[in-house]
Each structure stands twice: as structure tokens, then as C-alpha cells.
Amino acid sequence: MSADLSAIFYLISGVLFILALRGLSSPESSRQGNFFGILGMIIAITVTFLSVGSFSSGLIYVLIFLLIGGLIGAFIAYKIPMTAMPELVAGFHSLVGLSAVLVAVSAFLNPEAFNLGSQGSIKLGSLIEMSIGATVGAITFSGSIIAFLKLQGVMSGSPITFKGQHPLNALILISIIVVTYFLCSTQSSNLFWILLSISFLIGFLLIIPIGGADMPVVISMLNSYSGWAAAGIGFTLENTALIITGALVGSSGAILSYIMCKGMNRSFFNVILGGFGATEQLASSAGKEQRPVKSGNAEDAAFLMKNASSVIIVPGYGMAVAQAQHALREMVDTLKKNDIKVSYAIHPVAGRMPGHMNVLLAEANVPYDEVFELEEINNDFANADVALVIGANDVTNPAAKTDPQSPIYGMPVLDVEKCKSVLFIKRSLSPGYAGIDNDLFYKENTLMLFADAKKMTEDITKNL
Amino acid sequence: MEIDPFIFRLSIFILSIFIGYYVVWSVTPSLHTPLMSVTNAISSVIIVGAIMAGLAGNSDSAFTISNILGFLAISLAAVNIFGGFLVTQRMLQMYKKKKKDK
């Protein structure tokens, strides 16, 4: 196949990828969008096979490795529970990063095969592009591994900070630029390996100081990086499909990071520099006074909700941990039979990744037109009878609106306190991620339900 | 004067960033998780580079390190492609509208 013809097919698959993202503007068109994405991928792979042309014995190995990877991927996709989606996405990002690194190394070792010059005298432009692709790929890989371990719970979700962390990171980032410069001027392969090693190291160091609840930002950021890495390799290989896709994914991840940061009213750098919640936690536990709270049981909660005419449910990460979404849906079904209007309010940063709560509710067969975003539903709290907060905390804290001293001041929050009564399903009175107390716990019209979210929801259903 | 082909690629890149920007802003927030998994799947189009690396420049059966790295990259990208698209499909199947007669 001629180079021109294959370039046209790569362009087509790039366009199909754009349509795949476009499809996600509504749930109805999304399934068709996913089909376009698959079609684009099939075209890209087929064209590559045809344009390489020489059907050597290597081809059979390519197909074998493709099949092995494909089977593993398909197996994971069918087995993975929806609650594990953040870990899965982080794990997948690391694979994109690693394959970008492998392709870059392969091109560095055998530049003739890619038309990039010969070893020791690779074209300057290609070498720069290759270095960028490899660096960003390596950062994506090691960063995603840490994110994966934190989300999986293998590694503690709390921030890991040490003295001199920021100067060290700054030093490494500068040395990446310096090493890239010397790599390009000397073509030394040793420098290429050093560049890769320090890139792996910085990816690791950048993510360890970031705490669990900031993971939505981190995952989106790594999503963006995996795109830029693909684009870098796309420039090296002069491949339009890779360049287009890399740019799409890169900007998609960047936008998601921005949305997540805005949901917490924090700047991107504030999140990336990390350590949030580590210091405040100490302060609040030291000077905490005992205040009375009203705690109740499932019977009280069932009574309140039975007499309500409208209920708003605010799910948070605690619902995901307790896997309470199905029990919650059953409870809501019972409420609906009693002609009680139920809707769900989702805060942008609820959970561990963008849209986490929406997927879990969808899994439990909650129709998506009962689920609302913060701006859509926030005015309705004043007219609702009961707000049921299940596994969320900071996103409901009124201190974000009233207390300029609070670390979360200015963060958009759900106006739960405007409801006639508030039910909190929570395991204990412990502060949330931001390490601050929630005034809502001590309000007159708040009833605390101390229990596992799933068990409590089931008990409430029994009492309805 | 001839324009360097790099400039053309750069133009494609910059314009694609803008397309991505506008397309992604129109994605509904409730589909942000499928958005991440599908972008993950399509960024594995890097498999194109991996296949080129795996098949690069040898007609005899001896494989270079460069080829082997390519094979490994093919597997990793394939995990992502199949895993990413299928898990997206699985998620999207779950998004349903309210049934009217209920």
C-alpha cells in the first residue's frame, strides 16, 4: 500500500476517533460512538499491516502477541467490578505509557527501520520527538502505577511527603531538560537510558505526595499525559492517526483535570504539589471539642423518609467502598412505590474519578434522568424534605460557604443543610479527607446513622 | 520555498487539540468515566508504532531487541484496546432511561 493511501486511511481512523468522543455527548449516541472508535482502531491496525507489506515470519508473532494481549484485555473487561473502575483506568494508563516507552526505545535502537537516520546519527527533529515521547510515556507509566497502588489500597492513600520534596522534584525536572539537550547533541545511548530512568523516577515522586481524594485530578492528568506520549511517538513515526489521537486524548484529560480542580476550588498546582489534608488533620484532632450529635437507627430514618414527599440522595466515595449502590436502588424503589419523589445529586469530585458515582448508579439500574449534577439540583434542596447523604462528607460541608478560614472555603458544595432534615450514613464521626469537621453533623435537623452504608440501607428498606 | 512536512504535522496536532477541546466540553458529566476508558482505548492506537517496530527491517527469522520490544508493546497496547473498548461498551449498556410504565 502506498504511503499516501495509508496516510488517508490513518486520517479516516483519526476522524472516527473524534466521532467516538462526540458520541459521548449523550447516553443515546454513546454506544454508536464506541462503535466508531472500534472501527477506527480496526482500520488503523489493518492499514499498518498492509503498509509494512513484507509478510515475513514476524507477522505470525505480531498476531500471537496481539491475541495474547487482546484476550487478557477482554477477560479483564468482563470480570472487573464497576467499583474498581478507577484502578482499572489507572492500570490501563500505565500500559499506554509503557508501550510508548517501548516503541521509543525500539526506534532509538533501530532508527533505519523507521526512516529516522542511522544509529548514532538520528535526525535531530526525530530524536527530540522520540525523547519527548519516551519521557512523557515513562512518567505516565510510573505515575499510573503509583495511582493504581493507591486506589487498589496496596499503598496507603494518605499523602507521602518528606523534606526537600519540591526542590528534589524541581531538580529532576531540570535535569530531564539538560539530559535531553546533551542527548541530542551527542547521540549517546547512555544518556537515553539515563533520561528514561529519571523520567520513571519523577513519575513516581510526583504522585506519592497526592492523597486519595485528589485521585480524580491525578487520573485525569495521567490520562492527558498518555495522550501527549502517544502524540510524541506519532511525530517520531510521522503518523497522523497517532498525532490526532494523542492531541484528542491529551486535551480531554486536561479538561477533566480542570473540571475536577474547579470542583474543589483548588488550582492545578495546589493539587500536584500535594500533601493536602496531611497537616490540617493534626490541627483539628488536637483542638476538637466534644459536641452533641443526634444519632438514630434505621427505624428513625425509615420513618422520616416515609413521611417525606421528596428525597434527595447524595452519594460519595463511601457508597463505592461499601458497594451499597444496589441496596440503595432497592430502597429507592420502595420509596417510589409510596409515591415519594427521589433524585440523586452528584458532586463533580465525588468518588475517585470523574463520573465515578454515575457509573455505579447506572450499574444499579438507576435511570440516568434521575441523576443530577450539582448546578442542576442545588436549588432543589430547599424544597426537599429529606437529604440522605451516603458516604459523602466534605462535598456537603457548609463551611465552604461560610468560613473563610476553612481549607475548603470557596469549594462548590451541595446545599444539603437547606433540607428540612438531613440523614448522614457514615461509619464514624471522623472528619473527611480535608481533615475538617463538618458543622452539619451537629445541626438540629441532622440525624447521624452510624453504620456500614450497605447494611444501613438494607435495614432502612426493611423498616419502610 | 518548500514547507517542512513537520509543519503540516504540527498543524494537524494543533487543530486536533482544538477539536478535542470543543468535543470534550460537550461530553455530559455523567459519562466522564466512559470518556476516560474510551480515550484510553483510542490512545492505544500506539499499537501502530508497535507493529512497525515488531516487523521492522528483517526478512530473515532472527529478531533484534528492537523487534522484541515491539512485540511486547503490541501485547500491552492490545490489552488496552480490547479492555478499553469492551469495558466502555459494558458501562454504556448500563445507562438507561426511566421506563415509562413503572
Nearest CA in chain A to B87: A77
Mean pLDDT of A139-161: 87
> Where does the pLDDT of residue B62 fall: very low under 50, low under 70, confident under 90, or very high at 90 and above?
low
What is the band of B58 on the pLDDT scale with cuts at 50, 70, 90?
low
Q: What part of B 15-74 touches A (C-beta under 8 Å)?
A: 16-21, 23-59, 61, 63-67, 69-74
Per-residue confidence at B66, pLDDT binned at 50, 70, 90? confident
Q: Is A30 exposed, middle or buried (0-12, 13-18, 19+ CB in 10 A)?
A: buried
pLDDT class for B101, splitting at 50, 70, 90? Answer: very low
In chain A, what residues touch B8 (CB-CB under 8 Å)? none
Model pLDDT, residue A276: 59
pLDDT band of A263, cuts 50, 70, 90? confident
Minimum mean pLDDT among A16-25, A423-432, A451-460: which range? A423-432
Output the pLDDT for position A160.
Answer: 80
A394 assigned to active site: yes
Contact residues, chain A, for B21 at CB < 8 Å? 251, 255
pLDDT of residue A279: 44
Which chain A residues touch B86 with a CB distance below 8 Å?
A: 73-74, 77-78
User: What is the residue whose three cell numbers read 505509557?
Assistant: A97
Mean pLDDT computed over A143-170: 85
- The tens digit of pLDDT for each residue in A27-51 reads 889 999 999 999 999 999 999 988 8
Chain A residues touching residue B78 (CB < 8 angstroms): 65-70, 72-73
Output A200 or A61, whichever has higher pLDDT. Answer: A200
Give me the DSSP letters along A229-288. Answer: HHHHHHHHTT-HHHHHHHHHHHHHHHHHHHHHHHHTT--HHHHHH--TTHHHHHHHHHTP
Q: Tell me the whole-structure pTM to 2 decimals.
A: 0.89
Nearest to B43 among A33, A62, A245 (CB): A245
A354 vs B: CB within 8 A: yes
CB-neighbour burial class of residue A291 (10 A; exposed 0-12, middle 13-18, buried 19+): exposed
Nearest to A459 by CA among A293, A305, A292: A305
Q: Is the pLDDT of residue A285 over 60?
A: no
Which of the following is catalytic: A214, A380, A394, A459? A394
pLDDT digits (tens, 9 = 90+) for A203-260: 999 888 887 778 888 899 999 999 999 999 999 988 999 999 999 999 999 999 999 9
Q: At which residue does the C-alpha cell 547521540 appear?
A: A187
Q: How confident is the model at residue A287 (pLDDT cuts 50, 70, 90)?
A: very low
pLDDT classification of B59: cutoffs 50, 70, 90: low
Tell me if A256 and B35 make a contact (CB, 8 A cut-off): yes
Q: Distance from first CA to last CA of chain B, Å, rounded?
A: 70
Distance CA A225, CA A250 (A): 6
Q: Taking 50 as the threshold, does the pLDDT of residue B73 lie above it?
A: yes
- Look at A34-48, A171-185, A234-248, B87-101 and tell me which has the smallest mean pLDDT: B87-101
pLDDT for position A283: 43
Per-residue pLDDT for A166 more than 70?
yes
